[in-house]
Structure 1
Amino acid sequence: MTAPLILTLQLEPAAAAHFNQLRRSHYPAYANMVDAHVTLFHRLPADEPRIVDSLSGIGALVSFTLTVNAVQQYTNGVAYTLLSPTLQVFHHSLQQQWLSFLTWRDQQLLRPHITIMNKVTAYKAQQLHQRLTADFVPFEIGATGVQLWRYCKGPWELKETYSFEG
């Protein structure tokens, strides 16, 4: 069976560098196999031609901003949550086009976030959450496209980048 595909949002270089640095600092090294990312779809079938067909047409879309609006603590991790009506509309449009082959998880409402710590104790997650929220102020970052990855049970393999050109 061919490895499934993952679709992520591509962030502007400065934002990607910022979140990658946070992830390198706080994510356990043994488990940190990919850069910081915003997952749009977790498990797409690699042999489905409609995926590439849909993504090939996104060049007409314009780059847009997302608001990094909060630091969220999970049981064993920490993430920054994101708000963007544009992203929600874009994601919903792809969901409708791909509904027949999406997993249950990928059919759900998108809750965009960037995980910077995971697979740690609840105590470590709580400590980082408290540190990051102490002086947190919402800020904006830019989205410049999407990236399609092949899941390889470890580091992901970049298959294609589709930039927002319009």
Structure 2
Amino acid sequence: MSLAVLLAAASIPSLALPPPSPLNGLAGCWRVTGTVEGKPTTAIARGSRRLGGHYLLFELHGLNPKDPYDAAIIMAEAGPGQLTAWWMDSFGGPGSAAGKGGVVGAGFLISYDYGSAVFINRFTPQGQGWRWQIDARPTGKPATAFARYTLSPGRCGPGFSVF
């Protein structure tokens, strides 16, 4: 190859694709173990891309029949390194909140403002799964641990959205 061809090729702008979203890492089925407000909990979860791949729907289904809990979290890329989300859960309207955040290293962080407190959700890759930490920061007070989860590859089972 001649020097002229190499120099011409070097001057062509790169068409590199943006880095893949860390949200893609939540796609699939998960076994969830951990604590909420210090109490042990187990759940199953499923992440799936929706609406042409623009959104990730993350569904959490608690496995304790004495303390039932379900959540659906819709997350999306909102620009380079930025994320937006909506949290819905079995508490109904009062348990719903908009979230904003961004990519942090190989993971991401999304905060949900409920007025009296902000809930900070941090997802960090861990082996073949994820570590999911939720801290509650009441207005005017320091943040405290609210929930600590480990997500390991698992089976989805029944109870998830079919749309």
Same fold (TM over 0.5): no
User: Which TM-score applies when normalising by structure 1?
Assistant: 0.28
Where relative contact order (Cα < 8 A, 6+ residues apart) is larger, the structure is: 1
> Which structure shows the bigger proportion of residues in helix conformation?
1
> Which structure shows the bigger proportion of residues in strand conformation?
2
User: Which TM-score applies when normalising by structure 2?
Assistant: 0.28
Higher alpha-carbon Rg:
2
